Amino acid sequence: MRFVVDAMLGTLAKWLRILGFDALFDSTWDDHRLVRLCRAEDRVLLTRDHQLALRRGVRVLLIESESLQDQLRQVLDELDLEPNHSFSRCPVCNERLQPLDPEEARSRVPPYIAQTHSRFKICPQCHRVYWRGTHWEHMERTVTQLRKPG
């Protein structure tokens, strides 16, 4: 499933990316651009804007809650989705992450990380390097909770 996320839901876009979903987001995009992207690329528009949700010719999911956990649960439940490709996209720019050789990562990460980790991924767009640190463990707990029924 591919999404366009409106300006009110930036954190939701980030977390959909963490869950492995293709989620376009730019806080500067106006309603017309959001709708055009949805139509041109067959994407679902995620919004809290009731007026925007009324646009014709666009598949829309009106997000009800202000709570991130509830927003994620609503998207997964109402669209019958499973987060089966978690940690495969860059949460910042939405590109698919690629493996990075540990030797190549050595010059791009703090020395302690280079010594204690052997698996790295890199975003080909923004060149951020990712590894499974303590922040990843917190995100993994969140993803695991989302996979539980109800």
What pLDDT digit, counting tens, does each position of 25-40 carry? Answer: 999 999 999 999 999 9
In this prediction, residues 40-54 reach a mean pLDDT of 97
Q: What is the pLDDT of residue 80?
A: 93
Q: Where do the DSSP E strands lie in the chain?
A: 2-5, 22-25, 44-47, 60-62, 98-100, 120-122, 129-130
Percent residues over pLDDT 70 in the chain: 97
Q: Is 142 a residue whose pLDDT tops 90?
A: no
Per-domain residue ranges for the chain? 2-78, 98-147
Helix (H, G, I), strand (E, B) or coil at 137: helix
* 3-class DSSP state of 140: helix
Tokens 């992450």 label which residue? Answer: 97
Q: What is the pLDDT of residue 149?
A: 60
Hey, what are 65's tokens?
Answer: 């809650």
Q: What is the pLDDT of residue 134?
A: 76
Burial class, 83, CB count within 10 angstroms (exposed 0-12 / middle 13-18 / buried 19+): buried
Residue 68 burial by Cβ neighbours in a 10 Å radius (0-12, 13-18, 19+): middle
Q: Which pLDDT tens digit goes with each residue over 63-111?
A: 999 999 999 999 999 999 988 898 999 999 999 999 999 999 999 999 9
Amino acid in the structure at residue 43: R
Sign of CA dihedral 50, 51, 52, 58: positive
Q: What does the block give as tokens for 125? A: 């767009």
